[in-house]
Each structure stands twice: as C-alpha cells, then as structure tokens.
Amino acid sequence: MTMLKTTALLHNISLVLYGVAALLGALAAASRRIPPVAAFSAGAAGLAAQVVLLLVRWNAGGHLPVTGLFETQHFLALWVAAVALYFYLRYRGDSFLPAAMALAAVCLFFAGKGPMDVSPLTPAIDTPLFLIHVATSFAAYGLFAVAALAAVYRGAGLRGSSTGSEGRMMDESLYLGYILFTWCLIAGSLWAYLAWGSYWTWRIKNLWSWILWFYYSGVLHVRNRPRWQGWPVNVLALAGFALVLFTYLGLGLLFTTSHPLLPQK
C-alpha cells in the first residue's frame, strides 16, 4: 500500500473513531445504558490511529510531520484528543469528552479537504528548530482549544467532569499551553536568527504570535485572581482561542505571510 493510501485510510479511521467517540460520549451523558468508557475507548483508538498515521508519514518523509495544513491540523486534533482523554482519566471528564472529540473530528474533517502528500523539507525549514517550533506551537494551540472548550462548559453551566473540575481543566490547559507556546517562540526566534538574520522580524505572522503570547501572559496573571473568576476568565479563554484561530488560519489565508498555509508556487 502506498504512503498516500495508508495516510487516507488512517485519516478516515481516526476521523470516524473521533466521531463515534463524540456520539457515544453524548449518548452516555444522556443515558446510563452506555458506559462513558465506550466513548473513551473509541477516542483512544482514534488517537492510536492518528499516532500511527503520523509515524508512517515521519518514516516516509524523514522528518517530523508538521509541515502543511494537513499535518498541522492533524497535530492540533491529536493534542485536543490526547488532552481530553487525559482529563477523562484524571478528572473523570466523561461529559467533556464528546465536545473535545467532536472538535478533534472537525479538525480532521477540514484536514482531509486538502492535499495529503508529504512535501520534502526545503533548506530553510530543514532544521530541528523548525520542527520544535511547529510541534510546540500546535501542541499549545490544541491546549488553548481545550481551555476554550472548558470555558464554554463553565459559561453554559455544564458539568464537564464528575468531580466538577472544569475550572481546573481550563487552568491546566492555559498553563501548559502557555509553556509550550513560549518554547515555540524561543525555537522560532533562534531559527529566525540563524536563517534570516534576526530573532525579531516585523512580519505580520510573527507579530501576531507575540500578540498571542502577551495575551496569554496577561490571562495567566489574572486567571487565579478572585475578581476575574467566573465569566471574565471564561471570556478571556474563548477570546484567546479566537486569536489562535486568526493567527493560525486567518493570517495565512488573508495575508501574504512568512508562514504560508498552502504550498508556494
């Protein structure tokens, strides 16, 4: 089987399994006949299929598969699913699972709309710094997505976990996401210094990445302050993810940036 066929097969398997996990999770929340562990199992199987897919592409391309829209969206979905499964285990977040799995499935659905072929690394991105930069970036984006989802649960008064730990889930996602995004910026800046002559460039994508970093720096400073509890921190987490989406997709699609989403002619 060719790499592209394997990719398509594993992609579809993980997409279907995440969809099934979302459905089973929603049914389990509505009826006691379906155990939440069924949704967890489907989600874990989807995650395993995704990991195999990325390993296959890593082997085929000879580099960590984090280039292009298809792979980055997979990476985003992988982190959303992995964090949701972790929250299921740690905080008994069985009610949180269906929404997170649905989000992962949506990411994969859009990933499948684009080309799936593995592109070779150009000399500019053929460096471990690039791979660290992109991998940590999308891991952070995934965590910020989970934080936004937890904010929706909190805002809507839904219980995301049997232990009532939605706030804790959001807090952890923001905290870890911020740490990973800091590493992303450090690796990106060092790479930019070696490749283009400056750790700081006045390019729109870079500037918006710093906006994102400062924004979440601010969120971390107030997230545990009594006056900011409740709706303010929920709104901040949601607005943060809107910023993430704009920085990741909006800028790449609307502007000519140093981080094009589609292959350059």
Which chain residues interact with another protein by CB under 8 A? 122-124, 126-127, 172, 175-176, 179, 182-183, 186, 189-191, 193-204, 207-208, 210-211, 214-215, 217-218, 221-222, 225, 255-256
- 34-44 in b/e form (b: 16+ CB < 10 A) is bebebbbebbb
Cβ proximity to another protein, 12 vs 258, nearer residue: 258
Return the structure tokens found at 230.
């409740």
In the chain, the amino acid numbered 197 is G
Cβ proximity to another protein, 115 vs 232, nearer residue: 232
Cβ proximity to another protein, 37 vs 254, nearer residue: 254
- CB 150, min distance to another protein, A: 17
- CB 64, min distance to another protein, A: 16
Question: Looking up tokens 């592409």, which residue turns up?
Answer: 57
Non-local CB neighbours of 8 within 8 Å, separated by 6+ positions: 116
Return the structure tokens found at 156.
């809507």
- CB 11, min distance to another protein, A: 28
Count CB-CB contacts under 10 A for residue 53.
23
DSSP state of 173: H
- CB 239, min distance to another protein, A: 10
Cβ proximity to another protein, 55 vs 222, nearer residue: 222
d(CA 159, CA 7): 36
d(CA 201, CA 182): 17
- CB 15, min distance to another protein, A: 31
- CB 53, min distance to another protein, A: 27
Return the structure tokens found at 180.
């990973």
Cβ proximity to another protein, 115 vs 218, nearer residue: 218
Closest CA to 178 of 238, 221, 225, 234: 221
Cβ proximity to another protein, 159 vs 203, nearer residue: 203
